[in-house]
Structure 1
Amino acid sequence: MKTITTTEELAAFCTEAQRHPYVTVDTEFLRERTYYSRLCLVQLAMPGKDDEGAVLVDPLAKGLSLDPLYELFRDQGVVKVFHAARQDLEIFYVEEGVIPAPLFDTQIAAMVCGFGEQAGYETLVRRIARESLDKSSRFTDWSRRPLSEAQKKYALGDVTHLRRIYEYLAAELEKTGRDAWVKEELATLMEPETYITRPEDAWERIKTRNTSGRYLAIVRELARFREEYAQARDVPRNRVFKDDALLELAATKPTTTEDLGRSRLLLREARKGDVAQGILDAVKRGLECPPEELPSKNGADGKLNVNPAVADMLRVLLKGKSEEFGVATKLIATSSELDEIAAGKRDVPALTGWRAEVFGRDALKLCEGRIGLRVAGNRIEAVAL
């Protein structure tokens, strides 16, 4: 198996790859000790058999530039094939501001093609490529050199088997006419905003049952400070302070370093220096936030007025549609989307695009009492009322 360690070798491979209709791509990276992922290895494969046309690219090799790879990513004549692409794409966008296009994600395609919600790579290798994977190297340290032969073999398998999987799924999508469904799903992955983490929005990821505007204002400011601090120093946000400590701080509202010293959950390092001052400043901003600028979740009262009977019926309808069309339920609609529909909201993804065709239109008819549900053998059917 070939490992590329020079820019010249990478340029030669990418030039050859541009003569083919697609190239499969995967990465190995580390993120345990940094905010941004550290790219440690790139795997690439052109159409071929076994290890033919497949290479490992060592981005840690001295003097190697990934510019030829980024040019390949921009080539509209070559499909870039990934499995579960989001984290890989984030790396390339953060590193170079490039998102490979045209793009194909075999995980999304597999869920559209009836492989269920757990369309993991190992499952697809077994069911489509009729091969097995040795996963023993999965959690090794990819930044250490030299890489072992076991690591190289594992890494290369992530792109060689992917060729067969892509060819099979692409043929299935063309046969069923669902390639447009996959392209619709890929639109989110192709959007740069997907890979931008804005500190002012970081609080929305924090799970809390407390819907007090003042409390949420402090949560917002603490999350903003933590995100800015972590990004500036390239450290994991949980190394600054964890979510449970953040929520404790929002509840106790410390105003002095002595108050911080009484925290049960705050790390010792966060009780002094820049982090401690940042926490106190964030709490102060939250306490002083004008009433008209206080945040809220899910509306003014923090709750959706969900009709539980309608929500339950929508879940039954979703299951029936999933089985009828052979598409994973979570790809059609999430549980929260069903609750939103049952609460009367209509600006949800499950009611747009291909989802409207598969599920959304009947979901609205069900909410309006225009259709009912019946059991037909092992199937759930919608019937006009």
Structure 2
Amino acid sequence: MRKNTYFAQLSIIQIMASSYKVIIDTLSNLDLSPINEIFLNDKILKIVHAPREDFEIFYRLFKKLAKNVFDIQIAAGICDFGKYLSYSDICSKICLVHIDKTYQRSDWLKRPINANMLNYAIKDVEYLEPIYKVLQQIIQDNNLQNEYDKQIKSLLNIENYIINVQKAWQKVRFNNHSESFIHKMKIMAAYREEQASTIDLPRRHFISDEELVQICQYLPTSNKDFENLKLNSRYLSKQKYRTQLADLCLAIQELGE
């Protein structure tokens, strides 16, 4: 889960194999290397739903991505059930079961986890295998394997899980697409990404997109400049970050941007 941090935090791992069900408490200082061995074993099929955030966590832990993965969200989209469906929606459409989402937004980092939450958590994996069998049959019957392989290959592209500050500007919402402004935004967005990941804070909690746009527009180089902008980020009231940003703004000005 990811709430007030840059990096998603691992709370529990739910696994089901045949009739065997288990929930692993990852906050109990357990050795997770056996889980990694399963992930890397290409003879073991891992059936998952929208695992991007999970894979981010495991890549950060083990520097490798899972092998032999079947993502039911990708497959459901290819099979015309609908794109980017939630797990509960897929369960409803394929298994005709209703998944109670009451505990979806609960604090899964809080201990102990109550019995109702544990029951909800195990249902997250209970229907994966029957859903897989239905979707895999549809893919096979309709010659959709190549399209599925193409999309799963994209999901497992390791570049997706490496922090690339040079591309951070693409995640910023702004309207000025002039070459000069984009150049400034690339510099400022890279700075935001570096700092946010260093202090493990969501990028927009560190500096909002709107504030980043203002900084690119006005290039503040002094405390007075920052105060005139009336920025709301509490981090931009700290001298450390003002100085770093002012240095970047001065460098941009010296280049004549």
Q: Indicate the TM-score class for this superposition, using the shorter chain for normalisation.
A: over 0.9
Q: Which has the larger radius of gyration?
A: 1
Aligned pairs for 1:122-137 (under 5 A) are 122-137=88-103
1:53 is aligned to 20
Compared with structure 1, are the counterparts of its residues 289 and 196 closer, same or farther at alpha carbon in structure 2 (3 Å cutoff)? Answer: farther
Q: Which of 113, 126, 132 pairs up with 1:147? A: 113
Structure 1, residues 64-112: CA drift from partner, whole Å, max 9, x if none? Answer: 1110000001111111111112111111111111211111110110111
2:182 is aligned to 216
Structure 1, residues 242-264: CA drift from partner, whole Å, max 9, x if none? Answer: 11000011111111111001113
Q: How far off its partner does 1:289 sit?
A: 3.9
8 Å contact kept, 2:73–2:83: no
**Unpaired runs of 5+ in structure 1?**
1-28, 292-385
1:80 is aligned to 46
Structure 1, residues 91-142: CA drift from partner, whole Å, max 9, x if none? Answer: 1111111211111110110111110235221111112112111110000111
**Unpaired runs of 5+ in structure 2?**
none
3-state SS, counterpart of residue 192 of structure 2: helix
8 Å contact kept, 1:43–1:159: yes
d(CA) in 1 for partners of 2:84, 2:56: 22
2:13 is aligned to 42
> Aligned AA for 1:38?
Q
Q: How far off its partner does 1:236 sit?
A: 1.6
3-state SS, counterpart of residue 39 of structure 1: coil
Q: How far off its partner does 1:290 sit?
A: 6.8
3-state SS, counterpart of residue 83 of structure 2: coil
d(CA) in 1 for partners of 2:21, 2:206: 40
Q: Which of 50, 59, 80 pairs up with 1:93? A: 59
2:148 is aligned to 182
State the identity as a percent.
Answer: 28
Q: 1 or 2, which has the higher strand percentage?
A: 1
RMSD: 1.6
Q: Do residues 108 (structure 1) and 74 (structure 2) align?
A: yes
d(CA) in 1 for partners of 2:177, 2:92: 46
Compared with structure 1, are the counterparts of its residues 211 and 128 closer, same or farther at alpha carbon in structure 2 (3 Å cutoff)? Answer: closer
Q: How far off its partner does 1:40 sit?
A: 0.5
> Aligned AA for 1:119?
L
| TM-score normalized by the length of structure 2 | 0.94
3-state SS, counterpart of residue 110 of structure 1: helix
3-state SS, counterpart of residue 23 of structure 2: strand
Compared with structure 1, are the counterparts of its residues 215 and 287 closer, same or farther at alpha carbon in structure 2 (3 Å cutoff)? Answer: farther
d(CA) in 2 for partners of 1:287, 1:211: 19
Q: How many equivalent residue pairs?
A: 257
